[in-house]
Structure 1
Amino acid sequence: MSFDINNILRDNIKKLVPYSSARDEFQGEASVYLDANENSFGSPLPDAYNRYPDPLQLEVKQKISKIKGVPPRNIFLGNGSDEAIDILFRAFCRPGIDNVITVPPTYGMYEVSANINDVEVRKVSLTADYQLNLEAIAETIDANTKLIFICSPNNPTGNSIDREDIETILANFNGIVVIDEAYINYSRQKTFIQELTEYANLVVLQTLSKAWGLAGLRLGMAFASEEIIEVFNKVKPPYNINLASQKLALEALDNIEQVNQWIKTTVSERERLALELSKLNIVQHIYPSDANFILVKTTDAKAIYDYLVSNGIIVRDRSKVTLCEGSLRITVGTPAENDTLINTLKNLSL
């Protein structure tokens, strides 16, 4: 099934003339910059923050390109992955007309962005083992379905979605399939970035917030065809990634060995944490995880959550989420933090 971006791109976005910033109109270095109405005297900070940042973050993208094996022209950087999600709605979904499909339980921001943009959300629940219900998804798609969101590894369940099922949707859907890989660094499954040349309708989201430890920077990545990336760049604010974030990202991206070591430790601790928790009477089931957290079905999620809070330990109560009844989502901490959690739960009597 052939994908044509013009068939789903909103007419107003096709006609949109993006804002042209001063930094868009000049490339290279100069000795005197008098084009952007900046404060030419400098800033109170030691670095040159009086100047606007590179609107396309080319230096950061080049470094990411070397790590990910994707050309810079296929990379979009957003203020968190949430910005990329929002742009997808604004560029491809007509308010009050189009719809998107989500597969709960899943990351809640897809629905929030849809509601903000007045776009219908059609929910097709995962199966009991947290995999895609392909038949139900196929029945839910209609002529106005523009986006399908699949989080893999999935949040809050932690498992990876079957790769062949995702490929089936990619091959048979005329809209855009968004694979959110925020937790891919912890997964045994390979990234879908490698499939960009095969599927023109594929958008892969990743982030520097998890394995890279840069949640405070709010720097998300989208990987897609050049056509789709051009749409992202057309719709985004001119300077969506500030200069401080770009500089800090460049510094962080040089430390891949440290990040890889953290990943190994986290995966090891994930297995240890799951094993120790499984020995507790309050734990009924621990779901397999490819992420840096585990979903734990308990005898009384709210009581356990409240007990942990009273001991200064914060986890996430997911017991009211579809298919996660009675469950807590627990991030894998440092070995010391995990020990504190385990020992605290051993002292709980319900």
Structure 2
Amino acid sequence: MFDINKILRTNIKNLTPYSSARDEFQGEASVFLDANENAFGSPLVQAYNRYPDPMQYQVKMRLSQIKGVPARNIFLGNGSDEAIDILFRSFCNPGVDNVIIVPPTYGMYEVSANINDVQIKRVLLTQDYQLNLEGIAEAIDENTKLIFICSPNNPTGNSINRDDIETLLANFSGIVVVDEAYINYSRQKTFIQELTEYANLVVLQTLSKAWGLAGLRVGMAFASEEIIEVMNKVKPPYNINEASQTLALQALDNIDQVNVWIKETLQQRDKLVLSLKHMDFVQDIYPSDANFILVKTTNAKSIYEYLVQHGIIVRDRSKVELCEGCLRITIGTPQENEELINTLQQFK
């Protein structure tokens, strides 16, 4: 059974978080003389002289309506990377604890572990890019605090078998983090709906991909109230700036536009796959539930360098385990995809 107190770091359990006056008072106020701000305004058209809402209440309430989950189960971070880092700092004792990742996968799990001096245990995915449950079970020990699963997975693009993830959730006494950065493009339903079933589940999502707000850096974590309380305790007091909160709120009122872009992206993905299949140097194109495809080629490095020379940037993943010879190609606009295809057709 999952018990947060058994995996929470003692110093975090005893931590008194930073508290501003705006955390402490209730109700409305018209005069703010508490935070040593410049009361006269900003040298901009819009005033940014006041600190932002430290708990992003309005954004969380709008997300609550969209996602169907209470605001108290939502954490907002400066990108999903902040949520990942906070999970390490909250639950993993440096030099003692370990986490499990399942390569090939998103690189920031390992980077964040290294920054926090936390041991990484690597259990490779199977040849068809699914979980090796037996290998994960063997890797777990009494100091294993987190398991990271990216689904749809980056860089492979496929969704991870849902039953396998639920097996981990039901049998692991630590936290299972399901990173759903690309869930808007997937046929698989989100794990947010399972929060009431699994106290040890953390779901990561982002406004950087389908929502088109990568420049604002707004990531989301969905979890039990007790896990969210820990994350809010550890985060910086004003981690999401006012501009990002304001613009995110505006964007969240444009779901119809986002859905149109998702549909077009999937159509363009299918079209790009068909075009690439006819090229001699393409050996395989793996099934994708994301806004990118993983393409196995005869010479990834040469193709990558050729595209760079023509001003087209893709991602060379050929040195990643189980992705040998592969390029990861993001789905662009129809014009960008056409330019890619036309350029590749000239490759020799």
Give the TM-score band, short-chain normalised. Answer: over 0.9
Distance 1:65 1:177 in 2: 22
- 1:126 counterpart letter in structure 2: L
- 2:82 counterpart letter in structure 1: E
Mark the runs of 5 or more structure 2 residues left unpaired by the alignment: none
Establish whether residue 50 from structure 1 lines up as the match of residue 49 from structure 2. Answer: yes
- 2:171 counterpart letter in structure 1: N
Query: Deviation digits for residues 49-99 of structure 1, max 9, x if unmatched?
Result: 111110000000001111111110000000000000000000000000000
Distance 2:237 2:121 in 1: 32
Alignment of 1:174-189 (within 5 A): 174-189=173-188
Distance 1:11 1:154 in 2: 33
Alignment of 1:28-177 (within 5 A): 28-177=27-176
1:262 match: 261
| Amino-acid identity (%) | 80
Distance 1:46 1:24 in 2: 28
Give SS of 1:154's match.
coil
Distance 1:203 1:103 in 2: 17
How big is the alpha-carbon RMSD for the aligned residues of Structure 1 and Structure 2? 0.7
- 2:177 counterpart letter in structure 1: V
Distance 1:216 1:73 in 2: 26
- 2:194 counterpart letter in structure 1: E
Alignment of 1:304-323 (within 5 A): 304-323=303-322
| Length, aligned pairs only | 348
Give SS of 2:100's match.
strand
Distance 2:325 2:266 in 1: 24
Shift of 1:23: 1.3
Give SS of 2:147's match.
strand
Alignment of 1:261-340 (within 5 A): 261-340=260-339
Give SS of 1:227's match.
helix
1:213 match: 212
Alignment of 1:228-243 (within 5 A): 228-243=227-242
1:343 match: 342
Distance 1:199 1:141 in 2: 19
Distance 1:40 1:306 in 2: 53
1:18 match: 17
Establish whether residue 198 from structure 1 lines up as the match of residue 205 from structure 2. Answer: no
Shift of 1:47: 2.6
Query: Deviation digits for residues 18-38 of structure 1, max 9, x if unmatched?
Result: 011121112332221111111
Shift of 1:193: 0.3
- 1:230 counterpart letter in structure 2: E
Distance 1:265 1:338 in 2: 12
Give SS of 1:240's match.
coil
- 2:66 counterpart letter in structure 1: I
Instruction: Single out whichever of 255-264 and 46-55 deviates more from structure 2.
Output: 46-55
Distance 1:53 1:344 in 2: 46
Distance 2:11 2:167 in 1: 31
2:225 match: 226
Distance 1:176 1:31 in 2: 42
Give SS of 1:312's match.
coil
Distance 1:90 1:267 in 2: 37
Shift of 1:258: 0.2
Distance 1:339 1:40 in 2: 52
Give SS of 2:302's match.
helix
Distance 1:185 1:6 in 2: 33
Alignment of 1:3-14 (within 5 A): 3-14=2-13
Length-normalised TM-score, structure 2: 0.99
Give SS of 1:18's match.
coil
Distance 1:338 1:120 in 2: 40
Distance 1:300 1:73 in 2: 49
Distance 2:296 2:184 in 1: 24
- 1:24 counterpart letter in structure 2: D
Shift of 1:214: 0.4
Distance 2:307 2:233 in 1: 46
Give SS of 1:204's match.
strand
Instruction: Single out whichever of 312-321 and 42-51 deviates more from structure 2.
Output: 42-51
- 1:20 counterpart letter in structure 2: S
Query: Deviation digits for residues 151-188 of structure 1, max 9, x if unmatched?
Result: 00000000000000000000000000000000000000
Give SS of 2:343's match.
helix
Mark the runs of 5 or more structure 1 residues left unpaired by the alignment: none
Shift of 1:40: 1.1
- 2:228 counterpart letter in structure 1: I
Distance 1:337 1:173 in 2: 44
